Structure 1
Amino acid sequence: MARGDHSARGVRALGVLLVTSAILLAGCTGPTAADPPPVTETPEARPIGTSSVPAAVAFAPLRGTRADWAAMQHPALAAKIDDHEEARPQIALNRTDLVFEELVEGGLTRYVAVWHSDIPAEIGPVRSIRPMDPDIVSPLGGIVAYSGGQDQFVAMMQAAPVVNLVFDYDDTGLFTRADDRPGPHDVILDSTEAVGRYAELPPPQVHFAYGGADPLADPAFAAAPTSSISQVFSEERYPSWTWDAASSAWLRSQEGQPDMEASGERVHAVNVVTLRVAIDWRYGEVPKTTLIGDGEAWASVGGRTAHGTWSKDAATSPIVLTADDGGPLPLAPGNTWIELVPVGGSVTFAP
């Protein structure tokens, strides 16, 4: 039976169950001739300024989680986050909706981290832009924050359809340097103020397809049980993830050590998406991840991993994940890390 048949059957069954329950409840509670007349109660006083209209329920576009519609009506904030050893622990990585890890010069990696459903007070350390970042950020719209970069890369980002907040040019106090961190790994952004200044910008579009808590359980995905994921970007950077059933999350390590954020929590993700990507060396020592195109992909969710492909047809288009059967490759509601692993690196999944 096709997956759509299963879904339709589940929806129909749920509808029958709800209708049946309503009829049974009505039969149990309806008045009879022996019942006393109903008592009319005076409504409780309602504080001025409150409404009896329930809040509109929606879904966070970059997490797939249930959310209040009004609370989602603000832009996404993307920021270039440092991953040098002296930049660790980073601030508020576990409050992101999305994190993209990319190769930069010297075999190191940096992040494009994106916050929308949960905006922390501050984020960082913020570092400089790279040539693939406009392709990552453009589909999100909203705001991008970074410390600077080569003039050509800054020009590329300023041409993207996003508001640029640049430490090198800021004279409004959005950025500060942390006294307890070594430079240049010390630039911190006041993220609530940044989003507040541009609150009129629209929220981001939906980035991925989301299913239930265990979206890869359908045999059609041929998802393999996975206890750990190992990704090699270079000799200097080889992150890994371990499935923790108790917390229903992937726990992150870097170079064999637990990866911690500034809150003291282990960095974790509900979804880990691994994409194999080509590297364009036209900028000399600065590698550019090639994101306009397609390639091999894996989605690791709920202790399983399903294989598929990724594609992106324009800078302003989101990445599309497709399962091997041709349908969407779904994620579970929650935060997602997207690992942009070079084809010269490696990816392994342990059962």
Structure 2
Amino acid sequence: MRRGARTRRGGTTAALLAAVMTASLAAGCSSGGGTAPDDGRGPVQQPDSGTVREPDTGTVAAADSVLAVKIDNSRRARPHTGLNSADIIYVEQVEGGMSRLMAVYASKLPNAVGPVRSARESDLELLRQFEQPTLAYSGAQSKLNPLIDDAPLRSEPPGRTPGAYYRGTDRPAPHNLYLRPAKLMPTVPGATALTTGFTYGAAPAGGKADTAETVSYPAASFSFTWSASRGRWLVAMDGTNATTTDTGRLAPATVVVQYVKLRKSEFFDSLGNNTPFTETVGTGRAKVLRDGKAFDVTWSRPTATDGTRFETKDGTRMNFAEGQVWVVFAKA
């Protein structure tokens, strides 16, 4: 059955994010990670029980809200695990021009996801579109933690829920931290939890034939090649085909290249690199890839609690193809 438009649910929203930090933060997570526990220098030691403890802040995720997992995307972290089960994968630029992924799960949960890495300030604004989402991440810069604690989400770093995380043995730390989603989510949230503003259905008229697109960051690149036989866009990262350890090639049905403002944040890594803030509230242009075509559209997200609306130049809603969606944030 096809999914129709998804709109944001009502209900009480938790307090707004804390005010932006005013002092320049000269120390914190590096482009490859962050402070402990994100440095990954030791195993995540937790009893492998089914007991789930709520975060210390008392924030409880809505029963039908999404699971968002921050994913390491350095070369040493590949191939990934569990990404093909995600409904949406967001791609963002981080320190040093590198990239990180955020995988969002609602329709189904894989047995494992990873490697998991640290959170960024931009994630908090992006996640406001969901009601009380669960954020799984390896840790964060210590001065970012107050913002995470005040955000309307359920924070799940290692050590909070017994048995949720484990260390793999196939690669060195910090690129071997994995999440067992079932330890955090007692039930599958369902597609209605995807309050992103996305709509699915027949493509609008128009579009241009397009079978290959590449988005480049200063130190990372993503290529998408249309496969007519699969009806999907095959992903390559840094010139290498992107595969997973469990379900093969990464191949979304729709790819969105969303042009956004990148500004300097108050945060720096241990090498002095600034952490860019990706502005996902506002308006701008985007390119939507589906069915072997490219559609030039505009995007609009009036407030942080809204989803993002995509429209063609004549105001027609830009429907996505059924299946996984990748949203790649590119500098406007």
Is residue 339 from structure 1 mapped to residue 328 from structure 2 by the alignment? yes
1:75-154 mapped onto 2 (5 Å cutoff): 75-141=65-131, 142-154=133-145
- Report Cα offsets for 1:204-253 as digits up to 9, x if no partner: 435301113xx14x2xxx3000010111122x211100000000000001
Q: Which residue of 2 aligns with 1:26?
A: none
- Report Cα offsets for 1:148-204 as digits up to 9, x if no partner: 11133332233222211112x42512111112221011111110121118979x834
Secondary structure of the structure 1 residue equivalent to 2:129? helix
1:177-188 mapped onto 2 (5 Å cutoff): 177-188=167-178
Change (3 A) 1:269 1:78: same
Considering only CA atoms, is the larger Rg found in Structure 1 or Structure 2?
1
CA separation in 2, counterparts of 1:255 and 1:208?
28
Q: Which residue of 2 aligns with 1:328?
A: 317
- Report Cα offsets for 1:74-130 as digits up to 9, x if no partner: 331101011011111111111110000000001110011111111111111111000
Higher alpha-carbon deviation: 323-332 or 268-277: 323-332
Q: Which residue of 2 aligns with 1:59?
A: 3
Q: Which residue of 2 aligns with 1:162?
A: 153
Q: Which residue of 1 aligns with 2:215?
A: 231
Change (3 A) 1:336 1:58: closer
Q: Which residue of 1 aligns with 2:308?
A: 319
Pick from 247, 270, 281 the counterpart of residue 230 of structure 2: 247
Contact 2:68 2:103 in 1 (8 A): yes
- Report Cα offsets for 1:279-306 as digits up to 9, x if no partner: 1113241111111211111111100111
The CA RMSD measured in Å over matched residues stands at 2.2
Contact 1:74 1:195 in 2 (8 A): no
Structure 2 residue runs without a partner (length 5+): 7-62, 269-273
- Give the letter aligned to residue 238 of structure 2: E
Q: Which residue of 2 aligns with 1:6?
A: none
Change (3 A) 1:199 1:340: closer
Secondary structure of the structure 1 residue equivalent to 2:90? strand
Alignment TM-score, normalising by the size of structure 1: 0.72
Q: Point out the structure with the larger helix share.
A: 1
Between the two structures, name the one with larger relative contact order (CA 8 Å, sep ≥ 6): 2
Is residue 265 from structure 1 mapped to residue 248 from structure 2 by the alignment? yes
Contact 1:76 1:116 in 2 (8 A): yes
Alignment TM-score, normalising by the size of structure 2: 0.76
CA separation in 2, counterparts of 1:197 and 1:179?
29
